Amino acid sequence: MNQPTGGVYLPILALRGLVVFPDQTVHFEVGRPKSVLALEDAMKKDRTIFLIPQKDISVDDPGLDGLCPIGTVAKIKQVLRIQGESVRVLATGISRGRIQELGQNEPFLRGAVVTVPETDAADTLRAKAMRREANTLYGEYLNFVDHSAQGILLRMLGSESSGYIADSIGQNSGIDYTNKIRLLIQMNPIRRLEMAIRFLRQEVQMLSMESEIQEKTKVNIDQQQKDYYLREQMKVIQDALGEDDEDQYGELERKIKQLHLSEENEKKLMKDLDRLKKQPFGSSEAAVLRSYLDVVLDLPWNHKTRERVDVAAAEKILDRDHYGLEKVKRRILETIAVRQMAPDMPPQIICLVGPPGVGKTSIAYSVAKALNRKMARISLGGVHDEADIRGHRKTYVGALPGRIMTAVAQAGSSNPLILLDEVDKMGSDYRGDPSAALLEVLDAEQNHAYRDHYVEIPYDLSDVMFITTANSLDTIPRPLLDRMEIIELGSYTDEEKVMIAKNHLIPKQMEKHGIKKSKLRITDDAVREIIRCYTRESGVRSLERCFADICRKADMKLVQDENIKRITVTGSNITEFLGIKRYLPDRLPSCDQVGLVTGLAWTAVGGEVLEVEVNVMDGSGKLELTGNLGDVMKESAHAAYSYIRANAEILQIDRDFYKNKDIHVHFPEGAIPKDGPSAGVTVCTAMVSALTNTTVRRDVAMTGEISIRGRVLPIGGLKEKTMAALRHGVSTVIIPKDNERDLEEIDQTVRKSLNFVLAQSMETVLHTALNHTAQHLLKEILTAIPEDIKHGSKPEIQQ
């Protein structure tokens, strides 16, 4: 057979899952008949053979298309026969090569092979750095593998050939088969080394993660074996001491029978106890059953505290703990009186609604003390999961009873007082609606057999007294609201705050800060100055923080100067303790003005004075509203505008003012959002004043909703609004006629200090608010307004 030009005919052996690199010695097994015949042919001659990887290792008899483009010319060192027809081969790679021509396919592959030399590559500083990186990385790789390859690493360290180091990494590492083929066919030694480093780094990272996982698994297995041996030893020790789990099961059975439950409930618990006895030692279900029985047996099934139903004693406790709040106290005392007359009647469910800091939570504690009931508090703010109320099924990992049953267990009594705090701040999402879960809890007709998901057996909540608190009723669902009796707590007046400060807050803070009464005195003027200039709230929380600040400053002075015998805080030196005043005292304008009217508003922290300013300018009839107003307040302004347009002749206003005059209505403090209908009469009065150029009395404040027919409609928050009017210094307050009944709820100090004008229509408001220089205009109003709109010709004044 003639030799082809530049090629040598060699037997060809296709390798599956193995790549042989030049200058590398490797041993492998050969089992396919074609491969064995190729080996035998090579051994008969000069032992040279061409080893080439095949692309798809699943193919048993690949053709030329199924072989890689590059292989390795190798020299066979040793051939050993092993079991069956397999042969173990030891060979050393010589050089890369490729098949130039396939001469025969049977009985084995044979063809012309040409050597493929490496491309020239300069030995740059980068190449040297890469060789060092490769050697270091291979050393790290050897730390993760069991077999020793220190000789290979030493040869790599002594080599200056980038190609040799890359081939050594490819041959002697666990790089993937496909990546090894990519290294074999890469003829540029620098690029081949770069690829080898990248592949080896991935392999090292993989081995590192595998090692970490194995270490953790080993630790877990060792801990489990240790626990097993310890349990076995405990069993042996218990047997030696004569102790047995039967004693524990007997104790549980005795506790179940002592509860005197219904036959159905006792049968359920005994069944769970029997299941517990049958569980193997250390099983997860045994732990679940044991935890469940412990929780159920810890509930106060038959334990009740003796309730104190003494109205006089309860009144004494409530008056001692709280100043004011007469309506709430009276309702609590009525509940106690009913309990005294009808002990079997279930307790009423009370909802205390009011702004923050007015004492809703603290009065619940006083009620529990007055009734001699155990107290448990559940904060519902931010609760979104229905399971928080009802609990989880005990089959879930980490399951717990709901908050209701947890509170009963913490109280240790089956007739505690449970405070559901912030009931208006619950939410709902895909996990359920907790407010719906409370429907059964707060229903006296259903809660005698309340079923918690974890406890499973019914529990009687009919003896539990529930008190809920909220800042607003708007977010409480209607079915839940229907189950509660609403008691509203209003804002404290300044005088009430003074008494609360003197009787409760100042002594409490002085005791907390270790100050004796003889060392610190806070005068009534100082307390009033703090209320007016340092706090702006319905309750007394900020006020209490101010007293705490004063006590801290007093402690510093007493510690730094031992010669100080007593510190006195007065209205004149209050800034030394609390700094500059945060709020300036409310003052009336210096004179009556056109288009400036004082209104009254309700906020979450109490009443506020709300001034309304109106300017009238030549223009095209545009009405502009500014001051960060809500939709309802804007609609009130448009209603007032419509009323003025409809009654322009009566009010002696140019009938075409809506065409040639621009009206700008502004509410100062534009950064604060404002909304609500109660500023309607205020806006209307300011517009009429500006359009008629009539001044408005600065000592008059007003509140009320206006209709487009000029009727004055009732509003809410009258108590807080009138307190704000008194602070501002006004003497007359105009309120809707329909709010006359609310005057009974106003503090007597406020009622004596203010004149109240009851208005049914805008006629009364304008008659009272506008200065008497415009009374000739008002006379025409009185005679011209139709009878179906006019509800009275003279304002009604109450003092």
| Catalytic positions | 678, 721
**Residue matched to tokens 């081949």:** 192
Angle 173-178-183 (CA atoms, 0-180°, nearest 5)? Answer: 65
Q: Which candidate, 44, 34, 45, 43, places its Cα nearest to that of 12? A: 34
Residues constituting the chain: 799
Q: Which candidate, 464, 455, 411, 466, places its Cα nearest to that of 261? A: 455
Q: Which candidate, 21, 423, 29, 57, places its Cα nearest to that of 182? A: 21
Q: Which amino acid is at 708?
A: I
Strand-pair partners of 14: 52
Interhelix angle for 263-278 vs 284-298, to 10°?
Answer: 150
Q: Exposure pattern of 163-184 as b/e (b: 16+ CB <10 Å)?
A: bbbbbbbbbbbebeeebbbbbb
Contact yes or no for 12/50 (Cβ under 8 A): yes
Question: How far is CA 649 from each of CA 130, 639, 652, 657, 786, rounded to the nearest angstrom?
Answer: 98, 18, 5, 11, 13
φ, ψ for residue 410 (rounded to 5)?
-65, -40
Interhelix angle for 326-341 vs 311-321, to 10°?
Answer: 160
**Residue matched to tokens 């100050």:** 515
d(CA 114, CA 97): 5
Q: Which candidate, 381, 387, 469, 473, places its Cα nearest to that of 425? A: 381
Residue 105 carries which DSSP code? -
d(CA 134, CA 156): 9
Contact yes or no for 394/401 (Cβ under 8 A): no
d(CA 23, CA 464): 89
- Number of neighbouring beta carbons within 10 Å of residue 716: 13
Question: How far is CA 360 from each of CA 102, 306, 419, 539, rounded to the nearest angstrom?
Answer: 97, 25, 10, 10
| 387 Cα distance to chain centroid | 17
Q: Which two tokens stand for residue 352?
A: 């205390």
φ, ψ for residue 706 (rounded to 5)?
-115, 145
Q: How many Cα atoms occupy the beta-carbon half-sphere of 175 within 13 Å? A: 25
Q: Exposure pattern of 437-446 as b/e (b: 16+ CB <10 Å)?
A: bbbbbbbeee
Provide DSSP, 329-383.
HHHHHHHHHHHHH-TTSPPPPEEEE-STTSSHHHHHHHHHHHHT--EEEEE-TT-
